[in-house]
Amino acid sequence: MSLVQRLGLAALHRMDPETAHGLALRALRAGLVPRWTGPVPAVLRGKPLGFDLAHPVGVAAGFDKNAEAVAPLLDAGFSFVEVGAVTPEPQPGNPRPRLFRLPEDRAAINRYGFNNDGMEAVHGRLSAPRRGGVVGLNLGANKDSADRAGDYGRVLARLGPLVDFATVNVSSPNTAGLRDMQAREALEEVLSRTMAVRDETVPDVKLLLKIAPDLTDAQVEDVAEVALASGIDGLVATNTTLSREGLRGAARSEAGGLSGVPLMARSTGVLARLAARTEGRLTLVGVGGVASGADAYAKIRAGASLVQLYTALAYDGPGLVRTIAADLARLLERDGFERLDQAVGADIPRSTPG
């Protein structure tokens, strides 16, 4: 990281977190973040979900909710960017303050509440030309919707032609009742209806489901069974957590979802259980606590073909993607892997015949 970048991050950290986030997006749009021109180690190349990617590291949903900085994030070196969550109608979300740093824990707590500009505004931004890269869309439901299950399909039908994959988000803790949609019957309805829209309108778009890290083992089993039966392409593990175990930061008692380093073990545990249950039949995306190449490697060995960053970017800036990619390549080569996909699920216990 250059001196200018370090000074810029230090200045942002002295501001209100949400204001700082907005300024970071403005800096990206203004071209103040250097482009990554490579080279990227060949060991990192793969084709998860059928996408030809130079490496597996992307930006998680929530960082660029309104698709304001897609091209600059791709230019900074991320293989893919997931925008959103986007709802059919614009909504302001919860009152401010609603984003809190916990620097002692390298974490954050947010209670945004699906604040976004709505699908029509995002449509205009996603229609802008860009230089390659994979773009995903996090699908949300309006807080006051009379048909939340149908909202996902509405957003997908409108924005699906502009993206490569879409993620059904039923796991944010900041919209009352939303996580209830992870229960088996509700989830079956959401996925069947959204899949029907996908198949009718944008059949080439990959469809994923993002789940919470706070599910019991039995609930994770239910999610895996429903996902496999539904025909979706993958699972994103995980969203933020309601747990506050072991936190030191002054903001630890704030309501909302916790992200960052303290989420790493919990989210990776859920990821590993999903990987063991789905046995390679679904593509898994690991998100939650990734702040280093070692973290990304742990997610991959637990079953993830792709990993995403969010909170770590607030502490280390978008240049972190280069460090993670380089460190991940060294770890793969150290352990004798010639391709990244050989390491996917390496830590999952294998059953033996008989």
Q: How is the beta sheet containing 107-110 ordered, strand by strand?
A: 99-102, 107-110, 257-260
Q: Which of 172, 230, 259, 267 is catalytic?
A: 172
Q: What is the pLDDT of residues 183-222, one digit of tens each?
A: 899 999 999 999 999 999 999 999 999 999 999 999 999 9
Query: Whole-angstrom Cα distance, residue 291 to residue 311?
Result: 8
Flag the least confident range among 42-46, 99-103, 172-176, 346-350: 172-176
Q: Supply the pLDDT for residue 1.
A: 58
State yes or no: is 172 an active-site residue: yes
pLDDT at 7 over 70: no
User: Which structure tokens are listed for 160?
Assistant: 């699906």
Q: Supply the pLDDT for residue 353.
A: 45
pTM: 0.96
What is the pLDDT averaged over residues 95-112?
Answer: 98
Query: Whole-angstrom Cα distance, residue 6 to residue 324?
Result: 18
What domains appear along the chain, each with residue ranges and CATH number? 3-341 (3.20.20.70)
Query: Whole-angstrom Cα distance, residue 194 to residue 203?
Result: 11
pLDDT at 354 over 80: no
Cβ contacts of residue 11 below 8 Å, gap of 6+?
none
What is the pLDDT averaged over residues 110-137?
Answer: 94
Q: What is the pLDDT of residues 27-61, one digit of tens each?
A: 999 998 889 988 999 999 999 999 999 999 999 99
Q: pLDDT band at residue 12, thresholds of 50, 70 and 90?
A: confident
